[in-house]
Amino acid sequence: MNLYEKLVNKEEKISLIGLGYVGLPIAVAFAKKADVIGFDVNKQKINLYKKGIDLTKEVGNEVIKNTTVEFTTDEARLREAKFHIVAVPTPVKNDHTPDLTPVESASRTLGRNLTKGSIIVFESTVYPGVTEDICVPILENESGLTCGVDFKVGYSPERINPGDKIHRLETIIKVVASQDEESLDTIAKVYELVVEAGVHKAESIKVAEAAKVIENSQRDINIAFMNELSIIFNKMGIDTKAVLEAAGTKWNFLNFSPGLVGGHCIGVDPYYLTYKAEQMGYHSQIILSGRKINDDMGKYVAENTVKKMIKANKQINGAKVAIFGVTFKENCPDVRNTKVVDVIKELEEYGVDVKVVDPQADKEDLWREYRINLCEVEGIKEMDAVIFAVPHNEFKTIRLEELKMMFGSTGYINVEAMNEVAATSEFDIDLDRKDCVLMDLKGMFNRKQAEDAGFVYWRL
């Protein structure tokens, strides 16, 4: 009986090393078909999972409560598994060079607990060569075993899109690769247990590593192009969204839009590829140019906010600005590498008092990473400018009339009560005021309606 059959018959176990936005959904999916050990070094995270709390919001509390995944921080439990999936983050350092610390640490932990006959599949995004040139030697050194003889190694890049309820693990074709045909066949069969869309067998581990890193690099470059167009059209006094809507009527025009590019993938992965290219003697031109444009967009937004406030006769030093949304993307609690923070820091350098509203953001991560506290929407009042940075679903119900209240002394008011409150003399509300600066980065509001309502309006 081979390893695949033993996993299906629950005679052997699967382990997931790293239970974040990627690893947790994978663990939960496999637990429906096999016995799964979910390992993470973060004790607080594991304790929450054991209590049925999904801090990633990727699978939901109810699913966590009912899953059969055995959550643990005890690395010795990894010895019970024969099929290991490593799904730890691969960030970049402050100088934009790869930080392989998490994947190296995971390799050491797994190596200490590796048994003969195991297969290890890395899912972490890396540059071509990391799995075989860096991870394998660590596994061999820690375990005393020989790769290719005592254990096999494969690679299957993660493609989960945090916050996306349509493109999930089950619905995205899974790229798989391994060091030989036998283990590749096993890896493919194991993933086919949970991936309904099927698998694509890459011809080598390096090919699979490269495929992953260019997926996000391509998206990064396309968004950078949109951001550059936004800068150009802004100078021309042309609305970028209107231009893209017109151009988008052509069948082969790609559907991208300008915005802040953060997160743990698109804003990071291109640097892995350019780092390796530099080692090979080639200096990237297109990829790094796109990265520079996207990395500078936070400052660009802050500068335009200040310009619009000056146009509205606002005193900049001491001004109050509310930012709606601080996560790296909509409808997701993840704040890792969010570029909204760049906007906040730049505004604070002008002496602006910034308040942040985000019903989705992980409050603990936000404080630990950036020392930012969240404000409730009810506390947003007497603002000089409001920036909608992330289009969470919760923000889409806010109407311009309600928004106008945030610039008055009463603060945020439910729209049903707005007319009654506005007519009450004890409140200082002027719905016709023309100095309300609205920075609508993703075009959530109708531009003409906003301008007709008296807003000083701007968007990317």
Cβ neighbours, 10 Å, residue 100: 19
Q: Which amino acid, one-letter code, is at 116?
A: K
| Amino acid found at 333 | P
Q: Is 436 a catalytic residue?
A: no
- What is the Cα–Cα distance from 303 to 342, expressed in whole angstroms? 11
CA–CA separation, 354 and 320 (whole Å): 6
Q: Cβ distance 127 to 209 under 8 Å?
A: yes
Q: How far apart are CA 308 and CA 302, in angstroms?
A: 10
- DSSP, collapsed to helix, strand or coil, labels residue 270 as helix
Which residue is it, tokens 């017109």? 246
Q: CB within 8 A of 77, min separation 6: which ones?
A: 15, 37, 39, 70
Q: What is the separation, in whole angstroms, between the first and last Cα of the chain?
A: 59
- Packing angle of the helix pair 297-311, 340-349 (nearest 10 deg): 50
For residue 109, CA distances in Å to 16, 141, 142 come to 12, 11, 8
Catalytic annotation, pick one of 135, 265, 332, 436: 265
Cα–Cα dist 245/250, whole Å:
10
What is the number of other CB atoms lying within 10 angstroms of the CB of residue 210?
A: 19
3-state helix, strand, coil in the chain (%, to 5): 45, 15, 45
DSSP string for residues in 176-223: EEESSHHHHHHHHHHHHTT-TT-EEE-SSHHHHHHHHHHHHHHHHHHH
Q: Which residues pair with 175 in a beta bridge?
A: 200
Half-sphere exposure of 307 (CA within 13 A, CB side): 12
What residue type is 51 in one-letter code? K
- Give catalytic residues, as residue numbers: 265
